[in-house]
């Protein structure tokens, strides 16, 4: 009986998944997501500057959110409950993109460097290959999916209201976060971490606690990714407009008063035509930047807010001289220790993590050399054709160079291409860099420097982390599971320093120095942050200092990356500031009501009915709630 119910349940889940995500609108036109997200439109549908002076909205928008990313989507959804919101996203939608949607294509999404890709690659001046999101949903569409909250210390340090924080995280989790089914590779990581002293085992938890734990994931049981873009379905479709392929070029300011005042933005659509979107003529209306740690300082600079001398060199009219815009950039440096296996491993992304008191995090992944499509991938550690241990840098991808490396990789144990890797990364790096414009083209990446390991404490922690990661690889839990002896593991480690995972010149004659190993093999985990720090660029409320009606809500305001992986906190941050802004304008009671509003499609529908002042509708709602609870109880009992 239980087996029959389980099969029925799986079929019902698949049917629901299909109906919600793939059934087109009743009109039978357009894209499949229009049924669920009728407010998402192409940027070219917006009136041009010459045909409209009111942004397509009679009185302008209460909020213009620049960037429909990890923070921008929950922020816009929250604000739209009470205000007219326009979201401008330079990328497309993630829903029909198989490279974004499915776990097995994770590395392909990163390797796709075409103009329409969900990821836009950039290389820091340090020589490390990196990427930034270019899609609705932002980094949640191209990351490894791991979900874990920030530490309580981080929340206190940034000065956020702990009560709203602790109510905002579950708002995210109930909609798109899942508990992973721990795969054997991840079990081996767990047991190995515990054996080398990363204890205690804290089980499955979202909390940031010392020891070894299993975290959440935005991949469901079918391996399908659920991104921040799906949080838009919690918004009010009557007050929310989302334009994709809308590339904002600058914020427009009125500088006639005592302080520069944002009045709107100029953006171009997918056809290259320009448009102007205007804010409502209200003191509380705002342009909110949520374009990430690269995009937000870049946008402020392009809009005339930044170091005066730098702006004048590029002939950008100076709105506000602020020498701190783009400063204090940081990235959590990561190094990989490769794990050979006697058999092909199943593809897994991060599920288990070791949180040490020395400020080093240990994670792991496996199986991404096995995909048939991997032969086309050449991006950092995700390359397969030229070895799981390397990639030829983009400017050196000549046929001769690739063939030369293919020949040299024959010296590597065959087992190296069947396994995975253990990742060690440094928390809260003290090494800092900066960001500056190369030109005034918003489509081009700015120049970014992270200065990896320029601070000796970061380098020392990396050495400690590499030693621990090596112990994990050589533990009996891994050698028993992979059926590879310690000698094979040591050979892979010795040769991995030669892997071209970055553009940094190698010192392969000094591989016994772990300090040099750290510098030679440093890669990114996409946790860059800074550039719009609180206190120098924005206020504690994240309002841009020195101007009116501009706010920044994303990781560019962080002085450290929260938790082991930041996406949970960045998504929560969007919800958090949405609630805070509503409270600022409508009072605490409105914010309290918003916090306890529905967190899924059914409950949202129920609330829409409750808002109607008809007693019979309230009765219907109560019956619906009873049925929902009953169904939930039956499912939980069967499980």
Mean pLDDT highest for which of 245-254, 381-390, 490-499? 245-254
The pTM score is 0.84
Q: What are 328-364's pLDDT values in tens digits?
A: 999 999 998 878 778 888 889 999 999 999 999 999 9
The pLDDT value recorded for residue 170 is 98
Exposure of 31 in the CB half-sphere (CA atoms within 13 A):
17
pLDDT band at 413 (very low <50, low <70, confident <90, very high): low
Extents of the domains making up the chain: 58-93+137-164+226-328+529-596, 179-223+331-431+453-524
The pLDDT value recorded for residue 1 is 52
| Phi, psi of 369, deg, nearest 5 | -95, -5
Tell whether the model's pLDDT for residue 243 goes beyond 80: yes
pLDDT band at 483 (very low <50, low <70, confident <90, very high): confident
Tokens of 619: 């009765």
Taking residues 11-30, what's their average pLDDT? 42
Lowest mean pLDDT among 103-117, 153-167, 459-473, 479-493: 479-493
DSSP state of 506: P
The pLDDT value recorded for residue 407 is 59
Residues with a known catalytic role: 527
Residue 325 near residue 301 (C-beta atoms within 8 A): yes
Tell whether the model's pLDDT for residue 408 goes beyond 90: no
370 burial via Cβ count (<10 Å: 0-12, 13-18, 19+): middle
Tell whether the model's pLDDT for residue 493 goes beyond 70: no
Binding-site residues for FAD, in ranges, read 89-90, 135, 248, 526-527, 555, 566-567
The pLDDT value recorded for residue 349 is 92
Give the position of tokens 């914020």.
251
Give the mean pLDDT of the chain: 82
Residue 503 near residue 126 (C-beta atoms within 8 A): no
- For strand 433-436 and strand 240-244, is the pairing parallel, antiparallel, or unpaired? unpaired
Higher per-residue confidence, 607 vs 447: 447
The pLDDT value recorded for residue 591 is 59
Tell whether the model's pLDDT for residue 51 goes beyond 50: no
Within its chain, how far is the Cα of 287 from the centroid?
Answer: 21
Q: Across the strands, what pairs with 216?
A: 147
CA 369 – CA 377 distance, rounded (Å): 10
Among 169, 292, 251, CA closest to 554 = 292
Beta strand spans in 186-239 (E): 201-204, 211-214, 216-217
Q: What percent of the chain has pLDDT over 70?
A: 73
pLDDT band at 281 (very low <50, low <70, confident <90, very high): very high
Taking residues 152-180, what's their average pLDDT? 97
Among 530, 523, 517, CA closest to 428 = 530
Taking residues 177-189, what's their average pLDDT? 95
The pLDDT value recorded for residue 478 is 87
DSSP state of 409: G
The pLDDT value recorded for residue 548 is 98
CA 408 – CA 38 distance, rounded (Å): 53
The pLDDT value recorded for residue 419 is 75
CA 215 – CA 167 distance, rounded (Å): 19
Taking residues 242-268, what's their average pLDDT? 97
The pLDDT value recorded for residue 479 is 85
CA 517 – CA 507 distance, rounded (Å): 8
Tell whether the model's pLDDT for residue 624 goes beyond 60: no
Higher per-residue confidence, 532 vs 1: 532
Tokens of 49: 């500057």
The pLDDT value recorded for residue 511 is 54
Higher per-residue confidence, 57 vs 142: 142
What is the DSSP track for 574-605? HHHHHHHHHHHHH-HHHHHHHHTS--SHHHHH
Lowest mean pLDDT among 101-110, 139-148, 180-189, 482-491: 482-491
Tell whether the model's pLDDT for residue 489 goes beyond 60: no
- For strand 286-289 and strand 305-306, is the pairing parallel, antiparallel, or unpaired? unpaired
Taking residues 167-192, what's their average pLDDT? 96
pLDDT band at 385 (very low <50, low <70, confident <90, very high): very low
Taking residues 408-426, what's their average pLDDT? 70
- Please give the biggest Cα pair distance in the chain: 80
Give the position of tokens 């918004």.
235
Binding-site residues, in ranges, read 89-90, 135, 248, 526-527, 555, 566-567
Higher per-residue confidence, 144 vs 410: 144
CA 442 – CA 627 distance, rounded (Å): 51
Euclidean distance between the first and the last CA atom of the chain, given in angstroms as a whole number: 12
Q: Which CATH architecture has domain 58-93+137-164+226-328+529-596?
A: 3-Layer(bba) Sandwich (3.50)
Tell whether the model's pLDDT for residue 20 goes beyond 70: no
CB burial string 402-413: b at 16+ within 10 A, e below: beebeeebeebb
Residue 200 near residue 482 (C-beta atoms within 8 A): no
Q: Report the residue count for the chain.
A: 639
Residue 100 near residue 227 (C-beta atoms within 8 A): yes
Lowest mean pLDDT among 179-193, 200-214, 587-601: 587-601
CATH class of the domain at 179-223+331-431+453-524: alpha beta
176 burial via Cβ count (<10 Å: 0-12, 13-18, 19+): buried
| Phi, psi of 376, deg, nearest 5 | -90, 0
Q: What are 433-478's pLDDT values in tens digits?
A: 999 999 999 999 999 999 999 999 999 999 999 999 989 988 899 8
294: part of which helix (H) or strand (E)?
Answer: helix 292-302
Taking residues 559-563, what's their average pLDDT? 96
Q: Across the strands, what pairs with 464?
A: none
Within this chain, domains 58-93+137-164+226-328+529-596 and 179-223+331-431+453-524 share the same CATH topology: no
Residues 6+ apart with CB under 8 A from 152: 162, 208
Long-range contacts of 623-631 (CB under 8 A, 24+ apart): 628/602, 628/603
468: part of which helix (H) or strand (E)?
Answer: helix 456-474
Higher per-residue confidence, 589 vs 431: 431
Residues 6+ apart with CB under 8 A from 143: 526, 565, 567
Taking residues 116-138, what's their average pLDDT? 91
């Amino acid at each position: 009986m239980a087996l029959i119910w389980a099969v029925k349940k799986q079929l019902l889940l698949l049917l629901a998944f299909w109906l919600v995500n793939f059934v087109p609108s009743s009109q039978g036109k357009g894209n499949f997501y229009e049924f669920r997200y009728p407010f998402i439109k192409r940027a070219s549908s917006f009136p041009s500057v010459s045909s409209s002076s009111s942004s397509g909205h009679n009185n302008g928008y209460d909020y213009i959110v620049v960037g429909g990313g990890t923070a921008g989507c929950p922020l816009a959804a929250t604000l739209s409950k009470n205000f007219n919101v326009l979201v401008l996203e330079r990328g497309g939608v993630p829903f029909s993109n198989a490279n974004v949607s499915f776990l097995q294509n994770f590395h392909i999404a990163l390797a796709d460097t075409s103009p329409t890709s969900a990821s836009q690659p950039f290389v820091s001046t340090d020589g490390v290959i990196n990427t930034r999101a270019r899609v609705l949903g932002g980094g949640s569409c191209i990351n490894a999916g791991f979900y874990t909250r920030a530490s309580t210390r981080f929340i206190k340090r940034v000065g956020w209201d702990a009560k709203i924080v602790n109510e905002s995280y579950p708002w995210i989790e109930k909609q798109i976060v899942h508990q992973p089914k721990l795969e054997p590779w991840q079990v081996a990581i767990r047991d190995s971490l515990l054996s080398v002293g990363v204890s205690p085992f804290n089980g499955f938890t979202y909390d940031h606690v010392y020891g070894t734990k299993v975290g959440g994931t935005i991949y469901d049981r079918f391996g399908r990714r659920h991104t921040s873009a799906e949080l838009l379905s919690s918004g009010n479709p009557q007050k929310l407009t989302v334009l994709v392929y809308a590339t904002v070029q600058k914020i427009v300011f009125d500088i006639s008063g005592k302080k520069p005042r944002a009045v709107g933005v100029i953006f171009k659509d997918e056809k290259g035509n320009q448009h102007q979107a205007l804010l409502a003529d209200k003191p509380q209306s705002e342009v909110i930047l949520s374009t990430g740690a690269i995009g937000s300082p870049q946008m402020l600079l392009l809009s005339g807010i930044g170091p005066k001398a730098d702006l004048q060199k590029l002939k950008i009219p100076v709105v506000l001289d602020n020498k701190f815009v783009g400063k204090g950039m940081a990235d959590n440096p990561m190094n990989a220790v490769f794990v050979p296996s006697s058999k092909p491993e199943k593809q897994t992304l991060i599920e288990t993590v070791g949180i040490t008191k020395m400020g080093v995090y240990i994670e792991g992944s496996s199986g991404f050399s096995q995909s048939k499509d991997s032969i086309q991938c050449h991006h950092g550690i995700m390359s397969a054709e030229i070895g799981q241990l390397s990639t030829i840098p983009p400017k050196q991808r000549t046929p001769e160079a690739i063939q030369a490396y293919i020949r040299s990789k024959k010296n590597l144990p065959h087992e190296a291409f069947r396994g995975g890797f253990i990742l060690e990364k440094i928390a809260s790096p003290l090494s800092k860099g900066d960001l500056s414009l190369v030109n005034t083209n918003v489509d081009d990446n700015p120049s970014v420097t992270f200065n990896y390991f320029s601070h000796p404490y970061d380098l020392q922690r990396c050495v400690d982390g590499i030693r621990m990661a090596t112990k994990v690889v050589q533990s009996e839990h891994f050698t028993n599971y992979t059926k590879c002896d310690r000698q094979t593991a040591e050979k892979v480690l010795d040769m991995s320093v030669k892997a071209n995972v970055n553009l940094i010149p190698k010192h392969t004659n000094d591989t016994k120095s772990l300090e040099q190993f750290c510098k030679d093999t440093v890669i990114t985990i996409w946790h860059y942050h800074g550039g719009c720090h609180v206190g120098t660029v924005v206020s504690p409320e994240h309002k841009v200092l020195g101007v009116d009606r501009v706010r920044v809500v994303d990781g560019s305001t962080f002085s450290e990356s929260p938790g082991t992986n930041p996406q949970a906190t960045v998504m929560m941050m969007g919800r958090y500031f949405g609630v805070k802004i509503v409270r600022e304008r409508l009072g605490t009671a409105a914010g309290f009501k918003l916090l306890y509003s529905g967190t899924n499609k059914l409950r949202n529908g129920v609330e829409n009915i409750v808002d109607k002042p008809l007693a019979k509708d309230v009765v219907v709602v109560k019956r619906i709630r009873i049925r929902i609870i009953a169904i939930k109880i039956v499912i939980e009992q069967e499980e």
